[in-house]
Amino acid sequence: MNQTLNQTWQERARPNRLERRIEFADYQSLRDFLDHAADLSEREGLYPDLGFGKNYLNITIHINDGDQELSQVQHQFARKLDQLLGEKTH
Amino acid sequence: MNQTLNQTWQERARPNRLERRIEFADYQSLRDFLDHAADLSEREGLYPDLGFGKNYLNITIHINDGDQELSQVQHQFARKLDQLLGEKTH
């Protein structure tokens, strides 16, 4: 998919979460990715916070209510988002 | 469109901007609205910051680069977003 590279995922605290910023070459590429990400959310039942403008997207994956720590659930979801971007690593 | 009501637009300063939060009854309604809003952005050439999760959307309409104050451009865009929601007032 058409995006410029970018930081990878950052683990952050208070609250514990995974964050990543992605910059896209154009708005259509960003919209395509948002559509795929929303489909993934519906399949997985996990809804990150997504913030975007014309050519950037910030993703924040929160821990489950009641949990204290990030788990495989969040990391696997992050990997699946990477795969939507055409990346194989996380 | 299927959303629960909601604050209206707020004018905020530093930087000057219009903000509105909308809560939706379900994710599909939110996705539909996002699609219409993105189409509007492409038609108008104005790209607000949009932040969303499972059932909420925060919209921030910034002033143009170089401007100091909100103008009719931002207020008209806000009205058009309201119209997408099926509302007639702003």
Q: In degrees rounded to 5, what are phi and psi of residue B23?
A: -110, 135
Which of A31, A39, A42, A58 is best to mutate for the B interface (most B CBs within 10 A)? A31
CB-CB neighbors (< 8 A) of A48 in chain B: 53
**Interface predicted TM-score (ipTM):** 0.88
pLDDT at residue number A66: 87
pLDDT at residue number B6: 60
What's the pTM value of the predicted model, to 2 decimals?
A: 0.89
- Segment (H or E) for A23: strand A17-24
* DSSP-assigned states of every residue in B54-73: SSEEEEEEEPPTT--S--HH
Under a CB-based contact definition with an 8 Å cutoff, are residues B18 and B61 in contact? yes
Residue A65 predicted with pLDDT over 90: no
CB-CB neighbors (< 8 A) of A47 in chain B: 27, 53-54
CA distance A47 to B84: 24
pLDDT band at A87 (very low <50, low <70, confident <90, very high): low
